[in-house]
């Protein structure tokens, strides 16, 4: 067996960002250990030849196309089990996201395989793949090896970079899959409904978070303007949520949500550890606080000691200008 089979989720004519990351990663790893980098897509008529072949841009050389329901895990488990059984792949790879977890886990059961989830990096060693995953709330990283084949790798959200390697169109192969009886017992009634009132901060790439240093509830207007300019969402600390300045759904920290956005900008937040544990995995942490001794300055990437009331409005304007111009 050899090669890496990756699942690519799609919706409304476009592939999921994390899936593209996984495809890119699969392509990179296949080069290192040998074998084909292939992808599997499951869906309806919107899976055109062109769309499927475009995965070649990200390094896939072959795309298996299966006609089946979209957005559900079990049919994909059936499909991938068949393909791995027929064509032999050493690894199945998934990008972050709910379905990746469900499918990867179902496939693990189906094939009696080894599985690692929340993987943050994969490395090639002696012709095999080693998966790295954090444990104990990111306080340690374990290296995991697989016994036998295939090995199932389920990535953490945003773990794999999307890389357009400029490969040509991938070969699209249609596969007939006879689904298990239970795979048709889950039926999608409505997919992808947007709900306005909910504050979803966990998926945001950019968060502007406000704390006590804002001074008053109205201080959140500064956060909202800046978040708007940056294209992000607004989050809050427990202190201000308790004070009623912002909704609980936006709370980050020990008793709120855990986030790991690309950019976390903390305004008027001291960085006490109860807050830190909720956001320390953020890729880039910027802090604005007037107290030079605030703990947040110990672990931020860029710290500005100053008055947020003076800085934030100007920053908002400058960001708009940079993006617009």
Partner 1 sequence: MKICVLVKEVPDAAVEKRIDPGSKRLDRSGEKNLNPFDTHAIEAAMQLKEGGAVSVEEIVAVTMGPESAFRALHKAVSLGADRSVHLTDDALAGSDVAATGYALAKVLEQESPDLVLLGQQSDDGECYTIGAVVADHLKMPSLTQVIKMDVEGDKLRCERQAEYGYDTVALSLPAVISVGDAINEPRYPSLKAIMGAKKKPLDTKATGDVGIDVGQVGETGSRTAVLAINPPPAKEAGEIIEDEDTNETVEKIVNWLDERKLLA
Partner 2 sequence: MASANGNGKVAPAAFPPPVDSPDEFIKRGLDPEDEIIEIGVAIVGGGTAGLACANRLLQLLADDPETLESLGEVPVAVIEKAKTCGGHNLSGAVVRPEPLERLFPDLSREDWRKEGFAFGEVDKEAVYMTPTAKQSLRIPTPPPFKNHGNEVISVAALARYQQRIAEENGAYLLTETAATQLIVEDGKVVGVRSGDKGRGKDGEPLGNFEPGTDIKAKATVLAEGCWGHLTGPAIREFDLGEGREPQTWELGVKEVWKVAKPLDRLIHTIGPWPVSTSKKYGQVGGTWIYPMKDEKTGDDLVSIGFVIDLDYADATTSAHDLLQTFKTHPLVKKILEGGERVGWGAKALPGGGYWSMPKLSMPGAVLVGDAGGMVDTVALKGVHHSINSGILAAEAIYASLKSGSSDFSSYEQAIEQSVTGKELWEVRNTRQPFSKGFFVGGPLVNFFIATKGKLPVRLPWHRQDERPMFIGKTSKKYPKPDGKYIFDKLSSVFITGNATRDDAPNHIRVQQNVPREVAETWKWMCPAGVYEIPDDAPETGNVDVIVNYTNCVQCGAITAKGGRLTTPEGGDGPLYQNT
Residues 12-71 binding partner 1 (CB under 8 A) are 16, 18, 71
Tell me if 207 contacts partner 1 by CB under 8 A. no
Distance CA 205, CA 289 (A): 22
194 vs 293, beta carbon nearer partner 2:
293
Q: Which does 217 bind (CB under 5 to 8 A by kind): partner 1, partner 2, none?
A: none
| Integer angstrom CA distances of residue 24 from 38, 308, 316 | 10, 40, 34
Please give the size of the binding site for partner 2, defined by CB under 8 A: 10
Tell me if 291 contacts partner 1 by CB under 8 A. no
Tell me if 293 contacts partner 2 by CB under 8 A. yes
Could you give phi then psi for residue 171, rounded to 5 degrees? -75, 125
Residue 203: which residues within 8 A CB-CB, separation 6 or more? none
Site string for partner 1, 91-110 (x = CB under 8 A): ------xxx-xxxxxx-xxx
Tell me if 307 contacts partner 1 by CB under 8 A. yes
- What one-character-per-residue DSSP string does 303-319 give? EEES-HHHHHHHHHHHH
Tell me if 258 contacts partner 2 by CB under 8 A. no
Chain centroid to Cα 299, Å, comes to 23
Q: Which of residues 111-170 bind partner 1 (CB under 8 A)?
A: 112-118, 130, 134-148, 151, 154
Q: Tell me the β-bridge partners of 122.
A: 131
CB atoms within 10 A of CB 1: 12
Residue 263 token pair: 């950019």
Distance CA 86, CA 178 (A): 14
Identify the residue among 138, 274, 319, 320 touching partner 2 (CB under 8 A). 274
CB 6, min distance to partner 1, A = 16
Tell me if 298 contacts partner 2 by CB under 8 A. yes
The residues of the shown chain that bind partner 2, judged by CB under 8 A, are 238, 242, 254-255, 272-274, 293, 295, 298
């Amino acid at each position: 067996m050899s090669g890496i089979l990756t699942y690519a989720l799609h919706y409304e004519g476009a592939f999921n960002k994390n899936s593209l990351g996984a495809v890119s990663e699969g392509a990179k790893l296949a080069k290192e250990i040998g074998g084909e980098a292939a992808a599997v897509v499951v869906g309806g008529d919107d899976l055109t030849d062109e769309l499927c072949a475009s995965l070649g841009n990200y390094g896939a050389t072959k795309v298996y196309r299966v006609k089946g329901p979209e957005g559900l895990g079990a049919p994909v488990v059936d499909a991938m089990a068949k393909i791995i059984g027929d064509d032999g792949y050493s690894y199945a790879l998934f990008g972050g996201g709910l379905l990746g977890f469900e499918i990867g886990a179902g496939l693990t059961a189906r094939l009696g395989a080894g599985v690692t989830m929340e993987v943050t990096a994969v490395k090639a060693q002696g012709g095999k793949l080693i998966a790295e995953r954090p444990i104990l709330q990111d306080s340690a990283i374990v290296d995991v090896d697989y016994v036998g084949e295939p090995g199932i790798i389920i990535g953490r959200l945003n773990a794999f970079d999307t890389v357009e390697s400029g490969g040509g169109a991938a070969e699209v192969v249609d596969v007939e899959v006879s689904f298990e009886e239970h795979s048709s017992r889950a039926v999608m009634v409505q997919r992808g409904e947007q709900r306005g009132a909910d504050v979803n901060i966990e998926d945001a790439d950019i968060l502007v978070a406000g704390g006590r240093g804002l001074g008053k509830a109205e201080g959140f207007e500064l956060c909202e303007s800046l978040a708007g300019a940056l294209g992000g969402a607004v989050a809050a600390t427990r202190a201000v949520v308790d004070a009623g300045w912002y909704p609980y759904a936006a709370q980050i920290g020990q008793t709120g949500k855990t986030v790991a956005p690309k950019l976390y900008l903390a305004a008027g937040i001291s960085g006490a550890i109860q807050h830190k544990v909720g956001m320390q995995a953020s890729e880039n942490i910027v802090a604005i606080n007037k107290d030079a001794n605030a703990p947040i300055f110990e672990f931020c990437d860029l710290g500005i000691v100053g008055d947020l009331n003076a800085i934030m409005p100007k920053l908002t304007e400058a960001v708009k200008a940079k993006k617009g111009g």
